[in-house]
Chains A and B, each alone.
Chain A
Amino acid sequence: MKSLKALKNQSVDVSRRQFLLGSVGGSLMMAFAPTVLALAGEAQKSLTDKAFSPTIWFEINASGTVLVNIAKAEMGQHVGTALARIVAEELGADWNTVEIKHVDTDPKWGYMVTGGSWSIFTSYKPLSQAGAAGRIALIEAGAKILKVSPADCEAKGGYVISSKGKISFAELVQKVEFNKQFSAEELAALPLKTKSKHTLHGNDFKALDIPAKTNGTAKYGIDVEIEGMVYARPILPPTRYGSKVLSVDDSKAKALEDYLGFEILKDPSETLQGWVSVLAKDYPTAIKAADLLTVKYQAGPTARSMKRLFCERENVR
């Protein structure tokens, strides 16, 4: 098993990667890529082939929507909103056009742990640089169309703006064939906005994940259905540690049509000790069946102190 530190480094190491921008399927796609995969001048092709680092990538579509893919676990901390905001700040995007997508749990997305307060402090710099790279590419393209010097342009609110007019990110994505890459060194040297130029950071903006959590569309683990899946309900042992299942009687549960059986969990890591998992074709049957099982245990050594606790509680009354 890899150490936590090794996993952490694996999940955030974008320091030796280049950054690719390319027009793919009508959108402007941007992503980090391992240096070996992206050959010089082939950003567009590498992006089309999805030969990029999975941890950070985002795109602007032809209607100007900025979609930021999030490979971190959302557990109520609005991590997607925070990460997208870092990109949007440097990109000069209009926050109202930013969307997030939580990717699936495919192992290719890397170590997706939520904890340790890593996500922001380890992603802040690479995401800021990624946003800055996008901004520079958009400004270069915009300057060409507006016939001005890139130095006379800024990216703000989803537009490249110059003294001689402005052009939206959406229009640029439609009109320009992007194919550009930044080496790791170039990326590291990109100028980031100074604090006084920040328009999103430190200001009050609505979290992007909240609307879905007010209308029933946010998808949680329990909402996922897979063809042929069965449902399990655990029966917990009398003590956290040291419990052993001696016998299980499921004769009553067998009367339930959709009951499938039980398993005494064997966990070599010993995180779970003495757990019984009750299986059924549907959730309510699993719950009902679990209530009908009789499990006999050899309880762990703390069972006595539990008993004492209950006695003490009785005495207090």
Chain B
Amino acid sequence: MIEFYLNGEKVKTNAAEDTPLLWVIRDEFKLKGTKFGCGISMCGACTVHVDGNAVRSCIYPVGAVKNNHITTIEGLNNSHPMQKAWVEEQVPQCGYCQSGQIMQAATLLAQNADPSDEDIVNHMSANLCRCMAYKRIQKAVKRAAQDSAVGVYEPGSDNQSSGNQSSYNQQVEV
């Protein structure tokens, strides 16, 4: 039995410890927004946050997230500045990689509130997009940084409903 927090809620799974976190999120907890891409941590479609850090859930064993706080695209509650910027810049085409792109991008502003173009490329370069939405992704990240010049990523919103104020917030806040 492995316990962890999924978008602020405490959950338990009987999955084997070596099961990739991705499948537990998608198939056991039915949060389908996180996508399966390459399965070998090369494309970034499966990116989620573990205690505020962007990780590739397709190879991250669920046994390694005991008592950790996992945030998925659903956990951003459709209110993250990155999501708004994504709509404003009309980033997605097919959209399959975009949950992962957004989750990856969301951790950038937590570390660097005013990223340069180069910072953005460095932070996002391992998230692949077959539709080649890269320029719009870059613009959207820039826009989100400007829009949230005061308030950086505030993952507290993920946890407020259940009152789980955790180490997750402390690690992410800058």
Contact = CB atoms under 8 A, between A and B. Distances in A.
Contacts of A213: 92, 94-95, 98
Interface string A212-224: 1111111110110
Interface string B87-118: 10011111110110010000000000000000
Given A75-B94, A76-B95, A210-B92, A215 B73 contact: yes
B26 to A, nearest CB: 8
Given A76-B131, A215-B33, A283-B23, A210 B96 contact: no
Interface stretch (B34-42, B150-158, B162-170): B34-42
Interface in A60-103: 74-78
B74 interface: yes
B91 A283 contact: no
Nearest to B101: A214
A77 B14 CA distance: 40
Chain B, interface size category, equals: 20 to 34
Contacts of A287: 39
A284 B72 CA distance: 19
A216 B34 contact: yes
Given A213-B92, A215-B78, A220 B35 contact: yes
Given A213-B95, A283-B27, A222 B90 contact: no
B64 interface: no
A94 B76 CA distance: 29
A215 B74 contact: yes
B39 A215 contact: no
A211 interface: yes
Contacts of B90: 206-207, 210
Interface residues of A, number: 26
B44 interface: no
Contacts of B74: 215-216
A218 B35 contact: no
B172 interface: no
A263 interface: no
A282 B23 contact: yes
Given A213-B95, A216-B32, 4 more contacts: A210-B95, A212-B95, A216-B74, A218-B95
Interface of A: 74-78, 206-207, 209-220, 222-223, 225, 282-284, 287
26 contacts: A76-B95, A77-B93, A206-B90, A207-B90, A209-B95, A210-B86, A210-B91, A213-B92, A214-B78, A214-B86, A214-B92, A214-B102, A215-B33, A215-B73, A215-B78, A216-B31, A216-B34, A216-B74, A219-B32, A220-B35, A220-B96, A222-B36, A282-B27, A283-B23, A284-B20, A284-B23
